[in-house]
């Protein structure tokens, strides 16, 4: 069982490569285990078709490509592979397919002001994972929920950090203020990623970075891939701001439900601190994002308003897909993960 010191130790290690889920990820992982110099002149897998943009194979391959810009993998030569032309060419094809799928799913965004107002007004008859966990969810379902969310929350705020140098100075200053809180406001032990790791340990889960990647299915991968896609492309910086605005606007009510749900399911104070922290912090953050980050972007020439709205809707769509997956499997009595979690 994880110990109280596990999260800090786990934060230092790069995870192993996961198991492949199809020809794309299989060929990619085989290549990543070799020296990058041997693959520069030959294409990586995929051919002309990359398959279902929402499928397990593409989402895992894209996630692995992005991870080379975060923590990397234990058996991969990060220095050689992160900017390998062959890998970037493959990533570009995967991104193009995924971005096109997001645009098709979202359609033409409504006016930004209307969209933000809709996000602020939580429906009274909400029926999402936090509602389920609060009312009838089990401790095992809460553990599964944490495993899904660990792919982002163990690197919380990192994708959004890429937007900072690409924003006008007033927006940059406000976003850095938000990020300062996300990283613990000068106290490393209060960084949100550390609080999440502590919550995982409280639920008997391995809090090591990437420990649950093999178990997490495509809908959860797509949520994180959307953030990385927006963060790594300057042309999508406004979409990343829209994604971040949607997170901060919608987070407080759900965080309050999850804190109450986890307390009901036997969590200690350590097991609810992450979500209790977000109830107040994100209420402040959404004000900063809406009133200080977004306006300078709108003042720039270009299509920032449409891109911000697209980013918010793309985030909402991936979250809806994940919520549908969670609720469908839980209500059928099945696990929402690809493989069951180890017992506590």
pLDDT tens for 240-283 read 999 999 998 888 899 999 999 999 999 999 999 999 999 877 67
pLDDT at 8: 46
Decide if 204 contacts 14 (C-beta within 8 A).
no
pLDDT-derived band of residue 5, with 50, 70 and 90 as boundaries? very low
CB atoms closer than 10 angstroms to residue 86: 17
Inform me whether the pLDDT recorded for 125 exceeds 80: no
12 shares its domain with 81: yes
Between 304-331 and 218-231, two packed helices, what is the crossing angle to 10 degrees?
160
85 shares its domain with 42: yes
* Last residue within a domain, chosen from 51, 81, 104: 104
84 shares its domain with 138: no
pLDDT at 39: 52
Question: What separation in angstroms does the CA of 181 have from each of 43, 162, 186, 188?
Answer: 42, 16, 8, 11
Average pLDDT over residues 299-315: 91
Q: Is residue 342 part of a domain?
A: no
134-190 pLDDT, tens digit per residue, is 999 999 999 999 999 999 999 999 999 999 999 999 899 989 988 999 999 999 999
Q: 171 Cβ partners below 8 Å, 6+ apart?
A: 241, 292, 293, 294, 295, 296, 297
* Last residue within a domain, chosen from 104, 133, 164: 104
Inform me whether the pLDDT recorded for 227 exceeds 80: yes
CA geometry: angle 118, 122, 126, nearest 5 deg = 125
Assign residue 244 the CATH number of its domain.
1.20.910.10
pTM (2 d.p.):
0.93
pLDDT at 75: 92
Phi and psi at residue 239, in whole multiples of 5°? Answer: -65, -35
pLDDT at 36: 74
Q: Is residue 287 part of a domain?
A: yes
Between 56-67 and 218-231, two packed helices, what is the crossing angle to 10 degrees?
40
Domain span including residue 89 = 6-104
268 shares its domain with 130: yes
pLDDT at 140: 98
Decide if 57 contacts 66 (C-beta within 8 A).
no
pLDDT-derived band of residue 7, with 50, 70 and 90 as boundaries? very low
* Last residue within a domain, chosen from 104, 126, 148: 104
Inform me whether the pLDDT recorded for 6 exceeds 50: no
pLDDT at 80: 87
90 shares its domain with 136: no
43 shares its domain with 125: no
93 shares its domain with 116: no
224 shares its domain with 75: no
Instruction: Compute the distance between CA of residue 152 and CA of residue 273 in angstroms, rounded to an integer.
Output: 17
Q: Is residue 339 part of a domain?
A: no
CB atoms closer than 10 angstroms to residue 276: 18
Average pLDDT over residues 302-323: 94
Phi and psi at residue 169, in whole multiples of 5°? Answer: -55, -45
Inform me whether the pLDDT recorded for 26 exceeds 50: yes
Q: Is residue 144 part of a domain?
A: yes
182 shares its domain with 281: yes
CB atoms closer than 10 angstroms to residue 43: 13
CA geometry: angle 57, 127, 107, nearest 5 deg = 55
243 shares its domain with 286: yes
Q: Which of 103, 31, 106 is nearest to 61 (CA)?
A: 31
37-93 pLDDT, tens digit per residue, is 655 445 556 556 789 999 999 999 999 999 999 999 999 998 889 998 889 989 999
pLDDT at 3: 44
220 shares its domain with 309: yes
145 shares its domain with 174: yes
Q: Is residue 336 part of a domain?
A: no
How many structural domains are present in the chain? 2
Percent of the chain with pLDDT over 90: 72
């Amino acid at each position: 069982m994880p110990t109280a010191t596990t999260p800090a130790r786990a934060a230092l290690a790069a995870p192993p490569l996961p198991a492949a889920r199809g020809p794309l990820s299989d060929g990619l992982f085989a290549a990543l285990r070799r020296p990058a110099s041997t693959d520069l002149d030959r294409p990586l897998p995929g051919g002309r078709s990359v398959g279902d943009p929402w499928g397990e194979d593409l989402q895992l391959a894209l996630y692995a490509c992005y991870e080379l810009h975060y923590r990397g993998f234990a058996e991969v030569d990060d220095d050689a592979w992160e900017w390998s032309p062959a890998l970037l060419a493959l990533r570009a094809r995967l991104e193009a397919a995924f971005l096109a799928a997001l645009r098709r799913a979202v359609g033409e965004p409504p006016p930004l002001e209307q969209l933000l107002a809709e996000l602020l007004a939580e429906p009274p008859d909400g029926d999402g994972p936090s509602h389920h966990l609060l009312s009838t969810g089990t401790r095992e379902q809460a553990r599964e929920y944490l495993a899904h969310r660990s792919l982002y929350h163990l690197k919380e705020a990192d994708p959004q950090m890429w937007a900072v140098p690409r924003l006008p100075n007033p927006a940059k200053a406000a976003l850095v203020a938000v990020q300062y809180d996300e990283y613990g406001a000068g106290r490393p032990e209060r960084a949100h990623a550390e609080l999440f790791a502590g919550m995982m340990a409280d639920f008997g889960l391995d809090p090591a970075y990437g420990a649950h990647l093999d178990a997490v299915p495509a809908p959860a991968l797509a949520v994180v891939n959307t953030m990385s896609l927006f963060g790594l492309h300057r042309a999508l910086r406004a979409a990343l701001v829209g994604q971040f605005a949607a997170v901060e606007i919608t987070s407080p009510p759900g965080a309050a439900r999850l804190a109450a749900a986890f307390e009901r399911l036997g969590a200690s104070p350590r097991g609810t601190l992450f979500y209790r922290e977000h109830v107040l912090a994100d209420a402040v953050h959404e004000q900063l994002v809406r009133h200080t980050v977004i306006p300078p972007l709108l003042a720039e020439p270009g299509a920032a308003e449409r891109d911000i709205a697209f980013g918010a809707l793309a985030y909402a769509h991936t979250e809806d897909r994940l919520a549908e997956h969670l609720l469908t499997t839980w209500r059928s009595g099945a696990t929402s993960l690809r493989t069951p979690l180890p017992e506590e």
